[in-house]
Chains A and B, each alone.
Chain A
Amino acid sequence: MKKTFTLVIAAWSILSLNLFGQDVEGFFKQNCASCHSIGGGRLTGPDLKNVHLRKDESWIKNFISDPQTIINSGDVYARELLSDSRGVIMPKVGGLTPFIIQSLFDFIKEESAKEKSKYGGSAITDRPLTPSDIVKGRALFIGETRLKNNGPTCIGCHSVAGEGLLGGGLLGPDLTNVYGRLGGKKPLAAWLASPASETMGPIYQKHPIDEEEVLPLVAFFKDKAVSNVSVAGVHDFNFIIFGFVGLAIVLVLFDLFWGNRLRSIRRNMVEGKI
């Protein structure tokens, strides 16, 4: 019994390794492409073309496995990278194993050698943003228009300058200045095309934001970053009013449900109401 179990486990591991071998491209696309291009210039993070010539292999592998630690260790090159990306720290990607890191490294090296990598340029059209994009982007952000692939609406977790009834969600970071933070149109578009954070990644992997929807959202974020209005106070007040209205509704419902409960028999009887 135990032997069979061990065999099954071993077979499964080998199979999964092989499967991963075929899917390193998918992994890159999912976890790296939102911030890095290969030969397409800088997005949020640096262009990875020929990265293996810039630093030695072990440094690169260490950095992939835990960027924060390397940055904290005071490594000069890592600090430089951080300031280049305007302080956006590369997140630690979940589920990394030495094997996957090796595969990624090889994959990048391979793609660098190509004349034109698939990841050499953003798939997003370079057309300029229009005012109608802003309107469309707002509708997508606050959920007036459903995302085409049924992904959850941004406002569920994020806020942008107090848009929406209650000022947006509080689970994710405030996105008012995300346009500037990530470094403009191109990096932001790349991020939206395949969000790589631990929370958004698994959700939008199944329901990606459509290419047609990315530019309007970028336009919307840009507009907000430029106008930069703060309306937090108004929303705090709304929140309290909303709370009171909700309480009143709940109390009315309670009364409807339990209005017929027994209140008093003797007193009613003595007062002649029975």
Chain B
Amino acid sequence: MDIRSQISMVFHLDKCIGCHTCSIACKNIWTDRKGTEYMWWNNVETKPGTGFPTRWEDQEKYKGGWELVNGELKLKSTSKVKTVTNIFHNPNMPTMDDYYEPWSYKYKDLFDAPAGDDQPTAKPISMVTGEYMDIEAGPNWDDDLSGSPIYAENDINLDVLSEEQRDQLFAIERLMMFYFPRICNHCVNPSCVASCPSGALYKRGEDGIVLLDQERCRAWRSCISACPYKKTYYNWNTGKSEKCILCFPRVETGQAPACFHSCVGRIRYLGVLLYDADKIEETAKHSDHELVDTQREMILDPFDEDVIRDAKKNGIADSTIKAAQESPVYKFVKDWGIALPPHVEYRTLPMLFYVPPMLPVMSSQEGDSVRSINEEYFPDFEKARTPIKYLAKMFGGGNESHLRYVLKKQSAIRAYRRAVTVGDIDMLNAEKALMEADCHPKEADKIYKLTSLCTFDDRFVIPAAHREEAIEMMKDPLEHKQEAGFGFREAPERGK
């Protein structure tokens, strides 16, 4: 076993209110520079919808991620031959229009306009060209527009539904939507890293954060094609690509990343997972339907004696193992099995997991009148507005059984809590439902607590970074012990 530690994440979609505070927190810290205006390392999408960049999930067009060719994992976007033949042009990149042309407004006109009959207006100007522009799209153009005939209907995940199911989704009172916040998944098998011809991308050994070396990047933009989640971005000003760094300067100092820290709905959880790096390739080679399970198997039990021993042998600090034992992510993913990886069929083994949302039917339309039908508080989730098939396409690699399991469990826990706190549901029935959902009252309490009453420290279990040890891999710190204040930050040309 080659045990590595990975800082992983869980987003609880039932709790997301779509306020975009995370996006703004991230933008204010990292991407308010020239050339990064269009980047959203963190963005929140409305589902069904086409997302940012438009239809990023359409890998027939964007060629992101891995594919199995004769039992071997191959990048969809590139190969050694393609790197050479496409050396002048990477053919599968989103255009600026697919992201959006970033803009601001000419606010100065509000003050400087000469007196006239109408109020002055601030016209939009492009932040790329500086010219006046017509705003046609934005990073969240379809926000809340679940029924929109263009953006929502073109959600590629809807392709798995039958015509009838699709029509239902867009009928009044059946309309459903949920929010889908996204950051870099810091994958275990990252296709961006594999595609980079310059070796600029790397997965940090100590915590698995995927980073992009700004000095090594040579603007090939292979990562932009290769990342199926489109979470690397090209800075047109510096000529280098950039991506979410999981706020590593914050994480190293024990703080949650900005988007986690600022999350209003408290949907975000962060913790350590231990996994077996020897199994990465084998895991990623399984069929779409098995991938959720095999990825889970790759994640190891931090309480297992053997795992602890081998982890220590691999140089993983005791504090990190302890953090792994307390990790909320481990609980959601392994203990309870209610968090699932997004689009696991891209085979990058994402380390950000989602608790899928429940959207029960609350009312129905009959003739001209709308009638409430929630006589049962927690009706059968099979009748929920969100088709299981649709969610399975997003979070189960097409395997509906995982979604059934998660939704059943969540539904049972709600009923159980209703029985505890309100009492209008029969406790015996509630407990029976729990049993059927592979749960028991103790576990239900824990899930309830971590979902609803979680404190800061419950949500973010950040291990000490041990940078002092990580740096020893590169150089001997003692070599510089007495040099503080002397020498050069970057060696001069001569006299190296």
Interfacial residues, chain A to chain B (CB-CB below 8 A): 257-258, 260-267, 269-270, 274
Q: Which 4 A-B pairs have the closest CB atoms?
A: A261-B91, A266-B54, A266-B98, A265-B98
Is B92 touching A265 in the complex (CB atoms < 8 A)?
no
Q: Does B309 contact A (CB under 8 A)?
A: no
- Of the A-B pairs whose beta carbons lie under 8 Å apart in the complex, a sample of 25, sorted by A's number, is A257-B85, A258-B89, A261-B91, A261-B92, A262-B62, A262-B91, A262-B92, A262-B93, A262-B94, A264-B95, A264-B98, A265-B58, A265-B61, A265-B94, A265-B95, A265-B98, A266-B50, A266-B54, A266-B55, A269-B50, A269-B54, A269-B55, A269-B150, A269-B154, A270-B137
Is A258 touching B91 in the complex (CB atoms < 8 A)?
yes
Q: Does B318 contact A (CB under 8 A)?
A: no
Known A262-B62, A264-B97; further 16 A-B contacts with Cβ < 8 A = A257-B85, A261-B91, A261-B92, A262-B91, A262-B92, A262-B93, A262-B94, A262-B95, A264-B95, A264-B98, A265-B95, A266-B50, A266-B54, A269-B54, A269-B55, A270-B150
Return the chain A residue nearest B63 by Cβ: A262
Interfacial residues, chain B to chain A (CB-CB below 8 A): 50, 53-55, 58, 61-62, 85-86, 89, 91-95, 97-98, 136-137, 150, 154
Alpha-carbon gap, A265 to B93, bound state (A): 10
Residues of A within 8 A of B93 (CB): 262
Is A261 touching B89 in the complex (CB atoms < 8 A)?
yes
How far, in Å, is B404 (CB) from chain A's closest CB? 31
- Residue of B50, B91, B154 touching A260 (CB-CB under 8 A): B91
Alpha-carbon gap, A19 to B93, bound state (A): 66
Residues of A within 8 A of B98 (CB): 264-266
* CB-CB under 8 A for A274 and B154, given A265-B54, A265-B98, A269-B55: yes
Return the chain B residue nearest A271 by Cβ: B150
Alpha-carbon gap, A262 to B94, bound state (A): 7
Return the chain B residue nearest A263 by Cβ: B95
How far, in Å, is B150 (CB) from chain A's closest CB? 6
How far, in Å, is A261 (CB) from chain B's closest CB? 4
Residues of B within 8 A of A263 (CB): 95
Is A267 touching B92 in the complex (CB atoms < 8 A)?
no
Alpha-carbon gap, A263 to B61, bound state (A): 10
How far, in Å, is A253 (CB) from chain B's closest CB? 12
Return the chain A residue nearest B58 by Cβ: A265
Alpha-carbon gap, A235 to B62, bound state (A): 48
Alpha-carbon gap, A267 to B94, bound state (A): 12
Is B91 touching A266 in the complex (CB atoms < 8 A)?
no
Alpha-carbon gap, A51 to B39, bound state (A): 85
Residues of B within 8 A of A270 (CB): 136-137, 150
Alpha-carbon gap, A186 to B73, bound state (A): 72
Is B137 touching A266 in the complex (CB atoms < 8 A)?
yes
Alpha-carbon gap, A267 to B100, bound state (A): 11
Residues of A within 8 A of B94 (CB): 262, 265
A258, A263, A265, A267 — most chain B CB neighbours (10 Å): A265
Alpha-carbon gap, A258 to B88, bound state (A): 11
Residues of B within 8 A of A265 (CB): 53-55, 58, 61, 94-95, 98
How far, in Å, is B175 (CB) from chain A's closest CB? 20
Return the chain A residue nearest B55 by Cβ: A265
Residues of B within 8 A of A262 (CB): 61-62, 91-95
Return the chain B residue nearest A269 by Cβ: B154
How far, in Å, is A271 (CB) from chain B's closest CB? 10
A262, A265, A266, A269 — most chain B CB neighbours (10 Å): A266
How far, in Å, is A28 (CB) from chain B's closest CB? 51
